[in-house]
Structure 1
Amino acid sequence: MGARSAIVAATAVLALAGTTFTSAQATAPRVTTGEVGTRSDAGAASSGFFGGQLPISAPPETRTIAPGVTLTSLTLGEKDENDFWTVHVYLPGAIDDPLPTANTALGPRPIAERVADALREKGFEPRLEEVLMPEFADYPAGTLGWIVRVGAYETSAEAAEELSRLRAAGFAGGTRYTAQDGTDPLAPQKVHIMRIDFDVFDGRVEAEYGETLSTLEKLTDHLAETSALAGVNGQWFYDSAPGGLFVSGGDLLTSATNGRGGVLLRNGGRTVDVDTFRSTIRVHLDRTTTVLDAVNRLPGRVWNCGGIGGDVPTENPQHDLMCTDDSELVLFTHQWGPTTPTGAGAEVVLDARNTVVAIHEHRGTAIPPGGATIQATGDLAPWLLDHTALGRRVKVISRVVDGDGDVVALTKDTTIVQAGPTLVRDGQVSVNARGDGLIREGSDQTFTYNWVVRGNPRTMMGVDEQGRLMLVVVDGRQAGYSEGLGVAQAAELMKLLGAREAVNLDGGGSSVMATQEGIVNRPSDATGQRSLGNYIVVRR
């Protein structure tokens, strides 16, 4: 790889909203060549991906949104000759499985070699490449697996033509852009940083949602309707609800993916704690106390897993995987929306005083103003019917604990947004990849490769040593413009931006930053910004 002309060889010191950064010298990552192909060793360890300084390739652009609120956009890196399109050949799950239906992105070396040999027999020239996993706080660095690729092309259309030939020959695959492999610290990146200095700014930063929890709205529409100054996307959204613990105004609106990272805000964002969280919701009825499975989510569908009581295949967090449970008790509050999901089971309706006002031998009903319902499925449906009666009072007790096991007081000034993973703790890069469910249980590590290792759009939230809140969006999946970051690289970026605490929020096509003037970044979906379930907003 040659030197990048846009990054000056001399070191330039740039002031960025009160924090000093150094423009990186154009140094190429080392590339090793073996008998089966080539791979880049850059970024093999998360602590040294950027070499301690950001490769700023253009002067930062900073503007003031409001007194104490600044927005800075950075341009990092530059496209070079090692950034090209290629065909990524899918591997079978087992070495003897058929190749036309293969659907894993990487696998053990023997399986990759079998696919490479088959490609050579059909006249293709494959490359066998090792994928390295960076070191995380609870997971060692090492080989995640092996991938097989064919060709090097300037355009995605050329790669697509080769993919068609490959499929016709009996293989499966897709196209990839190598700058998005998450191994090149000098790949093009667009980074947008909003800093809120509460020594000057007299407003608030908090998490909000639209008309109901179960509805979606674009961030720009929410800002226009509520007169908020600015914001970014918040949590993931599955089956008509935010995924993970969401506390707003002290109300527990969705239950935790137990053990995942998140951020706790108090005093309008002036106090910020990044931690892991668990929640327990107990209901007392008919002299019996039992634990509910969740709040405001579809019974039986446990996105990101990390639930309680019989979830399959695991009760451990597994990001973007849906676990299931045939028998559940789920509380729906009035914030969910006007009516609850329909289906088989039973449902008890509570008024604003938590008095039972209706009992149904099915699911799906109106929620009274200020009231709630409890839905039951499977074996718990007859249990719920046996333990309730009209006119009885029901007591619901919500409890949230942090990573130390301490109870988090849910006051009117409490906001908790659980997304994850944590990125920076006490000023050090700290990603609990296994504990946060980023490492797949089982042999197929396609998700871990695509979401953790490869570059993607990212949205992050943190606080620096001066107590300034940071909202950060990195664009991605846009070849030659901004490639995106892997999780370890996103953590290092936040540390270099001065974060002493930081957490990852939803990303991908949902990554968006906007002000009253419009969208700041360039969302990766071809259709533009997505509609969202909730947001982190800055308001006076």
Structure 2
Amino acid sequence: MRKNRQKTSKFILPVLAGALVFTSPFSTAVFYPTSHVAAAVTVTYQLVKKDETIVTSGARNVTYAWVPSDSAKPTEVLHVLEIDLNNPYIQLNALSGRGGSVTSGQSVTEMVKETGGVAGVNGDVFGTGNEGAPMGAQINSGELVVSTSQLKGMYAFAVTKDRNPMIDEFSFSGSVTAADGNKFTLSGINKSAYRTEPNSGFSHVDALYVYTNAWTAPERPAKSDTTPTEALVVNGVVTEISVGTQIQTAIPDNGYIVRGHRSAADFITGHLKVGDTVNYNYELKSLTTGKSYDPSTFQMMVGGHTLLLNNGAAIPFTRDVNGVSGYADRARTAVGYSKDGRKVYLLTVEENGAREGVSLKELQQMMVKLGIWKGVNLDGGGSTTMVTRPLGEFQVELAHPTSYGTTQRQVSNGIGVYTDAPAGSLKGIVASGAKTLFIGQQTSYSLKAYDTYYNPIDPNGLKPIWSVNNSLGSFSNGVFQPARAGEATLTVKAGTAKDTLPLEVIGEKQVKRLIIDPSTTALQAGSTISVPVKVELMDGRQLSVPAASVKWEFVGFTGRASGGSLTIDSVGANASVGYAIARYDGFGTVAVLTPGAAASLENFENTTYNVSFSGLPAAETVGSAAITTGIPGRENSKVLDLMYDFTSGSGNRFAYAHLNDGDGLTLEGNPSSMTLDVLGDNSANYLRAEIIDGNGKTHWVDIARQINWSGWKNIRVDLAAQGLKGPSKLTRLYVLNLEQDQDERALQGEVAFDNLTLQYPAGVIDTVNPTIVMTVGKTQATVDGQSAKLPAAPFVQPGTNSNYLPLRFVADTLGAEVKWDNKAKRVTVLRGKTMLELWVGKKDMTLNGVRQPVAVTPIVKNNSVFVPVRLISEQLGQKVEWNGAAKTITIH
């Protein structure tokens, strides 16, 4: 946060980072958790191995499909890092935040890169309402950097120095000893404030804690409901004491802070003096066996959550799992080990696109099928991340998408995989490059090499020879450009070494939905529109389609497409609508553009009205809203700045910027959309606008379902879909932090707004709605009571009992535009905001880019295209009536 804000001393229980689940209303909408559990049908699952790659000697990455017996349910994907502890070169260790900090979150990728690892997953649950320190214990290379919390049923994963894995519930005990021999109980090391269990006590009240330089947060800790008394100890000697305030001297590597409250503060002031020696000791104790452990006997430890498996079987949860969305479908991370203790399994389940993730009970089933003996749940949801180093590569990369796509959440810690194998000789080569491609996309491939320990080596000196089977495209100088869909194998040879890479070129048959997200829908000559295209596949994957793979058709205007942007050259005379049709491998979708003027609503440069802030819950929400200068990226112009702090609130939380003291800005007429520049804070919060229309109806308009960017970004907001009855008023811009999955989002942040612009259509896209009456077997029809001649008579197709009619006549009469592609046998119908496509002999159609099944298909008869009357008419928004006695078809 750039600016000072009001502080609050109210103690709160930290929210665990693991997807809280509630059914919570906000505005007029309610979100509900999803589940794979059916009400009446028992669904069984199979775990099917799909892929396996070696990461390093002793570590491999295996991908499984979790296939349901009910085909209506999605197939989920499980990723497993299998670690062989018999391998002398492989090691596991805890990952920390930036520079070893336990309070400075970092992505798993950066953690692994910073420490020289070859793979890793996220670890412990952590507080998002405080410093973000791990809730459980953490041991790095034998050093305890965070102690356990006094919470019930929280298990941890560890590996001992003699390479034995453990999963157990531990407690912490210790003491600080003064030079005069007096001792005081030590409650913890590097801990955020929390509520203890089962007594719901305040963790830092009347307690003594130690903080090392691994704690980099400004307070030790915040929101503890205590006033600190502290002593700085360097090389075992007290060098500074502060009563009632925090010591400001930086903690050196060879030092630590002793922090106390009440009787613990009395111990510090009564028994510790500058120049005196002091020491502290501690141990961990198993709550299941009673055995005590010196933390230095462990190589590593990372805290987890509920125990999932014991003795190879699923067990009742050891802790309430509602705090980690245990009964909902979410991304998951877990760790377990085999019965003989020689294999460790690091697991993640994807949640992205149509892949929903799994409940904890499903995760238990997965782990049982893998043969895991004992396992514990780690942080999931938006935290779930796995990174691996592909064979032959020198750096790690995401093993699968996160819940945010390629964005990784900043997490408190993780489990890293390391190798200390010596340099070996050349063992093999690897073809490195993308496996999933699009037609027309140019993709470069390179040669990588690895040694006898499966670690990367420099491939210089090797001369690769490339080839691709199946004639899917052309390959030249390491660049492959597919020309058609299918599967192929890329082969590279260098000397006697050889490697293959399976290639998948996405085709039309795999597409479920094609999506265009234009930056504006204004049809104006000379304008340039960003038109990114995405595809959702039948298996749930969502991918961006390269601009080179998209073919464009324009109706109502002329234009050019290049690099993901569309430039409108000219608009047809009297054109009331323009259609930008994007196709991938023949599968199409449309962006509907309408001519109209753009008008500036507000750029905040010459405002004469007031902007104010309010929050909900009102008493706990802190923030500010102001028109100001100096915001990064807009240093020399004025913007609307909104800062918020939800850390003391509960439930759904709102931070409002009221425009014109709530009277709002007038939106003249009926704008179709609004564009605005937004400075994002990457908080994953919800960004919305409140508009009150001319009838007094309040509309809550989505600006962004998730603020998942930093820096300035231009956003288009669809207002046409709101059905505003103008003139309307934009009254508030606001940030919303929903109670459901609240741990996935930051509780503090700052956003800013600039350049609010309205776009107006020339008018409503007019469509005619005549009443058409036709009779089976007759070419005579009526349109609004007037006689009309059909090019061919409607008929009933034998075997289908479906009425067929000539498409061209009906489309023309309804004011639609029809295009026929003879090669593809595809008919395209454009009417209003609808694009309908059907294929002769194909039981599929698309409606605005979404594939849908059809029972009956178009046919060609006497060089005319005939379509099922009910299908074509109802998809275009008309009603169809059939009079069996008179054999008449009425469309109206």
Q: Which of 192, 213, 235 is the matching residue for 2:102?
A: 213
Superposed CA RMSD: 3.1
Q: Give the aligned partner of residue 406 of structure 1.
A: 291
Q: Give the aligned partner of residue 348 of structure 2.
A: 473
Question: Relative to structure 1, is the Cα distance of residues 54 and 40 closer, same or farther in structure 2, using a 3 angstrom cutoff?
Answer: same
Residue 418 (structure 1) shift: 1.8
Q: Which of 192, 214, 227 is the matching residue for 2:116?
A: 227
Give a deviation string over 1:132-185, Cα, whole Å, max 9, x none.
xxxxxxxxxxxxxxxxxxxxxxxxxxxxxxxxxxxxxxxxxxxxxxxxxxxxxx
Q: Give the aligned partner of residue 198 of structure 1.
A: 85
Q: Secondary structure at the match of 1:491?
A: helix
Q: Secondary structure at the match of 1:492?
A: helix
Residue 520 (structure 1) shift: 0.6
Give a deviation string over 1:372-400, Cα, whole Å, max 9, x none.
01112356434432232112222211110
Q: Give the aligned partner of residue 98 of structure 1.
A: none
Residue 278 (structure 1) shift: 0.7
Distance 1:523 1:77 in 2: 20
Give a deviation string over 1:232-284, Cα, whole Å, max 9, x none.
1111233142221112222221121244211120247x311111111112112
Residue 336 (structure 1) shift: 2.3
Q: Secondary structure at the match of 1:192?
A: strand
Q: Give the aligned partner of residue 241 of structure 1.
A: 133
Residue 216 (structure 1) shift: 2.0
Question: Relative to structure 1, is the Cα distance of residues 55 and 491 closer, same or farther in structure 2, using a 3 angstrom cutoff?
Answer: closer
Q: Give the aligned partner of residue 486 of structure 2.
A: none
Q: Give the aligned partner of residue 300 of structure 2.
A: 415
Q: Give the aligned partner of residue 492 of structure 1.
A: 365
Residue 189 (structure 1) shift: 1.1
Give a deviation string over 1:103-137, Cα, whole Å, max 9, x none.
xxxxxxxxxxxxxxxxxxxxxxxxxxxxxxxxxxx
Q: Give the aligned partner of residue 424 of structure 1.
A: 309
1:358 aligns with 2:348: no
Residue 339 (structure 1) shift: 6.8
The structure with more strand, counted as a fraction of residues: 2
Question: Relative to structure 1, is the Cα distance of residues 333 and 350 closer, same or farther in structure 2, using a 3 angstrom cutoff?
Answer: same
8 A Cα contact 1:341 1:364, kept in partner: no
Distance 1:281 1:200 in 2: 35
Distance 1:296 1:195 in 2: 31
Which amino acid counterpart does residue 224 of structure 1 have in structure 2?
A: K
Distance 1:475 1:390 in 2: 54
Q: Secondary structure at the match of 2:293?
A: coil
Q: Secondary structure at the match of 1:367?
A: coil
1:330 aligns with 2:203: no
Q: Secondary structure at the match of 1:225?
A: helix
Question: Relative to structure 1, is the Cα distance of residues 61 and 521 closer, same or farther in structure 2, using a 3 angstrom cutoff?
Answer: same
Q: Secondary structure at the match of 1:284?
A: strand
Distance 1:224 1:426 in 2: 35
Distance 2:80 2:165 in 1: 17
1:54 aligns with 2:69: no
Query: Gaps spanning 5+ residues in structure 1: where?
Result: 1-38, 83-185, 308-312, 316-322, 440-446
8 A Cα contact 1:426 1:500, kept in partner: yes
Which amino acid counterpart does residue 60 of structure 1 have in structure 2?
A: K
Which amino acid counterpart does residue 384 of structure 1 have in structure 2?
A: I
8 A Cα contact 2:232 2:257, kept in partner: yes
8 A Cα contact 2:207 2:261, kept in partner: yes
1:392 aligns with 2:267: no
Q: Give the aligned partner of residue 147 of structure 2.
A: 255
8 A Cα contact 2:174 2:282, kept in partner: yes
Higher CA-based Rg:
2
Q: Give the aligned partner of residue 624 of structure 2.
A: none
Distance 1:41 1:229 in 2: 34
- Percent identity between matched residues is 21
8 A Cα contact 1:233 1:459, kept in partner: yes
Larger RCO (CA under 8 A, 6+ residues apart): 1
Which amino acid counterpart does residue 256 of structure 1 have in structure 2?
A: T
8 A Cα contact 2:106 2:412, kept in partner: yes
8 A Cα contact 1:274 1:425, kept in partner: no
8 A Cα contact 2:177 2:279, kept in partner: yes
Residue 325 (structure 1) shift: 4.7
Which amino acid counterpart does residue 457 of structure 1 have in structure 2?
A: A
Residue 80 (structure 1) shift: 7.3
Give a deviation string over 1:339-379, Cα, whole Å, max 9, x none.
76378421101012x21111012114321331101112356
Q: Give the aligned partner of residue 409 of structure 2.
A: 530
Which amino acid counterpart does residue 400 of structure 2 have in structure 1?
A: N
Which amino acid counterpart does residue 291 of structure 2 have in structure 1?
A: D
Aligned length: 363
Question: Relative to structure 1, is the Cα distance of residues 338 and 43 closer, same or farther in structure 2, using a 3 angstrom cutoff?
Answer: closer
Q: Give the aligned partner of residue 58 of structure 2.
A: 68
Q: Give the aligned partner of residue 200 of structure 2.
A: 314
8 A Cα contact 2:123 2:414, kept in partner: yes
Distance 2:186 2:78 in 1: 41
Q: Which of 251, 256, 264 is the matching residue for 1:372?
A: 256
Residue 63 (structure 1) shift: 1.2
TM-score using structure 2 length: 0.38
The structure with more helix, counted as a fraction of residues: 1
Residue 335 (structure 1) shift: 2.6
8 A Cα contact 1:68 1:198, kept in partner: yes
8 A Cα contact 2:59 2:84, kept in partner: yes
Distance 2:42 2:277 in 1: 57
8 A Cα contact 1:240 1:297, kept in partner: no
8 A Cα contact 1:281 1:292, kept in partner: yes
8 A Cα contact 1:253 1:295, kept in partner: yes
Q: Which of 273, 278, 288 is the matching residue for 2:171?
A: 278
8 A Cα contact 1:340 1:364, kept in partner: no
Question: Relative to structure 1, is the Cα distance of residues 371 and 49 closer, same or farther in structure 2, using a 3 angstrom cutoff?
Answer: farther
Distance 1:415 1:242 in 2: 14
Question: Relative to structure 1, is the Cα distance of residues 460 and 81 closer, same or farther in structure 2, using a 3 angstrom cutoff?
Answer: closer
Give a deviation string over 1:199-239, Cα, whole Å, max 9, x none.
44622111121412222222212333332111111112331
Q: Secondary structure at the match of 2:220?
A: coil
Residue 412 (structure 1) shift: 5.3
Distance 1:50 1:274 in 2: 31
8 A Cα contact 2:160 2:297, kept in partner: no
Residue 539 (structure 1) shift: 0.8
Q: Give the aligned partner of residue 341 of structure 1.
A: 220
Q: Give the aligned partner of residue 545 of structure 2.
A: none
Distance 2:230 2:265 in 1: 8
Which amino acid counterpart does residue 301 of structure 2 have in structure 1?
A: I
Distance 2:71 2:60 in 1: 35
Give a deviation string over 1:410-462, Cα, whole Å, max 9, x none.
225432222121111222223443xx3x16xxxxxxx45x7121122111111
Distance 1:289 1:530 in 2: 41
Q: Give the aligned partner of residue 18 of structure 1.
A: none
Distance 2:402 2:171 in 1: 32
Which amino acid counterpart does residue 51 of structure 2 have in structure 1?
A: E
Structure 1 runs (4+) deviating above 6 angstroms are 78-82
Q: Which of 378, 381, 402 is the matching residue for 1:508?
A: 381
8 A Cα contact 1:257 1:306, kept in partner: no
8 A Cα contact 2:36 2:358, kept in partner: no
Residue 297 (structure 1) shift: 2.0
Q: Secondary structure at the match of 1:244?
A: coil
Give a deviation string over 1:286-327, Cα, whole Å, max 9, x none.
4322212221124xx216x348xxxxx626xxxxxxx65543
Which amino acid counterpart does residue 396 of structure 1 have in structure 2?
A: Y
Q: Secondary structure at the match of 2:104?
A: coil
Question: Relative to structure 1, is the Cα distance of residues 251 and 49 closer, same or farther in structure 2, using a 3 angstrom cutoff?
Answer: farther
Q: Secondary structure at the match of 2:206?
A: coil
Distance 2:51 2:251 in 1: 49
TM-score using structure 1 length: 0.61
Q: Give the aligned partner of residue 458 of structure 1.
A: 332
8 A Cα contact 2:103 2:217, kept in partner: no
